[in-house]
Amino acid sequence: MCGRTRCSLRADDFPRACHRTTAPTRLLHIDRYRPSNNVSPGFNVPVVRREDGSENEGHVVQCMKWGLIPSFTKKTEKPDHYKMFNARSESIDEKASFRRLLPKNRCLVAVDGFYEWKKDGSKKQPYYIHFKDGRPLVFAALYDSWQNSEGEILYTFTIVTTSSSSAFQWLHDRMPVILGDKDSTDTWLSSTSSFKSVMKPYEESDLAWYPVTPAMGKPSFDGPECIKEIQIKTEGNIPISKFFSRKGSVDEDTKVEHKIVCHEPVKTEQTKDLSEETKTEEGDRDLKPSGSSPSQNVTKFPIKREYDSISFDSKPSLANNDQVSANPAKKKEKAKTAADDKQPTLFSYFGKR
């Protein structure tokens, strides 16, 4: 859809933007036009249409209100310009409000750019869409006239939309029918040619867009701030399940891995006994009441059991190491003491003699 545009063009810019430079052009009710950075339905916007009774010769730049009011609307009814500010190209030749306008009431709308909102949950972020080179965008449109109870004739128009282009789908599923060259504008204004050929998404790569302030969502908000690019804060989306994940189970797996790595120097038999003890401890832990957390069980029982078993198994090896690494001086002292402790025997007495 297209429900907000920017139009700051001058009156003489409209014929050039719509490639209407060869035929004579006249201005009608152009004094009602007020350039704005934030144009919404109900605003007076200049449109380019064919001169009455002419075919490809002579055009009129006429100021009309955006938001179609069909001519068959009751004269006493209050006009609502938000009901039909867009017309879907897929059903434009089926609905009575638009079908009767196709032969002679086609027109062109030239703007600087338009706004579209990107939905992100409950939030909506507006983007400004424009041509990269700054030239005006030209939309296909239909117009009608309606007379109220006071005899005043009101001219209104609606912008034709189509499905989004491949590059635009991420932002919205609809976009205005953009007529990018003279041939397409000629085709749309000509009542003799088939309009279906131009009712398609604009697939060229010269469209650009960027985020703007959400404040421009209010029609009363106008000024250069409407098209000033802003920086969007990107926050990482953390699934709510992360807040309820079992941290103990992750720590448990990590600790088991660290145990295996740290105890590699231990003998194979000791490692096997240690792993069996750990498995037994885990089986017993599963049977315990759920009141104790997994992280507490891992810290309190397996680590203590493991420490005791390692300390116990390590004592013999430490003793052997002490014997091997004993001081040589202490060895001599022990040998001397052992010799002094020997008592003379009867055989040694007779042997001497």
pLDDT number for residue 178: 98
User: Residue 233: its pLDDT value, please?
Assistant: 77
* Residue 202: pLDDT over 60: yes
**Which is catalytic among the residues 2, 7, 18, 226?**
2
Residues 6+ apart with CB under 8 A from 209: 116, 127, 128, 129, 130, 171
Q: How confident is the model at residue 245 (pLDDT cuts 50, 70, 90)?
A: very low
Q: How confident is the model at residue 221 (pLDDT cuts 50, 70, 90)?
A: very high
Arithmetic mean of pLDDT, 28-33 = 96
Neighbours of 177 (CB within 10 A): 24
pLDDT computed for residue 276 by the predictor: 43
Best CA proximity match to 193, nearest among 96, 71, 102, 68: 102
Asked whether the beta carbons of 142 and 67 are under 8 A apart, the reply is no
Question: What amino acid occupies position 80?
Answer: D
- Tell me how many helices (H) and strands (E) the chain has: 9, 13
Q: What is the pLDDT of residue 53?
A: 60
Q: Return the minimum-mean-pLDDT range out of 154-163, 222-231, 240-249.
A: 240-249
- Entry pTM: 0.66
Distance, in Å, from the CA atom of 29 to the CA atom of 310, rounded to the nearest integer, reads 98
- Share the mean pLDDT of the chain: 77
* Confidence at residue 94, expressed as pLDDT on a 0 to 100 scale: 93
pLDDT value of position 259? 41
Q: Give burial (CB, 10 Å; 0-12/13-18/19+) of 286.
A: exposed
Whether pLDDT at 296 is above 80? no
Instruction: Over range 243-254, report the average pLDDT.
Output: 43
Q: Which of 73-87, 186-200, 267-281 has the lowest mean pLDDT?
A: 267-281
116 is catalytic: yes
Q: What local confidence, expressed as pLDDT, does residue 24 receive?
A: 83
231-242 tens-digit pLDDT: 987 655 444 444
Question: What would the pLDDT profile of 308-334 be if each residue is shown by its tens digit?
Answer: 444 444 444 444 444 444 455 555 555
Q: Count CA atoms closer than 13 A to 288's CA, side-chain side.
A: 14
pLDDT score of 8: 96
Least confident of 48-52, 97-101, 260-264: 260-264
Name every residue whose Cβ is closer than 8 Å to that of residue 113 and which is 6 or more positions away in sequence: 5, 6, 128, 129, 130, 131, 137, 227
Structure-block tokens of residue 253: 């797996």
Residue 64 has φ and ψ, to the nearest 5°, of -130, 160
pLDDT at 136 over 70: yes
Mean pLDDT, residues 201-207 taken together: 95
Give residue-wise pLDDT tens across range 105-132: 999 999 999 999 999 888 999 999 999 9
Q: Are 176 and 142 within 8 A, CB to CB?
A: no
Domains observed in the chain: 5-227 (3.90.1680.10), 246-325 (no CATH)
pLDDT at 171 over 70: yes
Q: What percent of the chain has pLDDT over 90?
A: 58
- Say whether pLDDT at 148 is over 60: yes
| Catalytically annotated residue among 7, 116, 226, 252 | 116
Instruction: Name the burial class of residue 18, with classes exposed (0-12), middle (13-18) and buried (19+) by CB atoms within 10 angstroms of its CB.
Output: buried
Alpha helices, H only, 25-170: 96-99
Q: What are phi and psi of 107, to 5 degrees?
A: -150, 175
56: confidence class by pLDDT, cuts 50, 70, 90: low
Q: Quick check: is 282 catalytic?
A: no
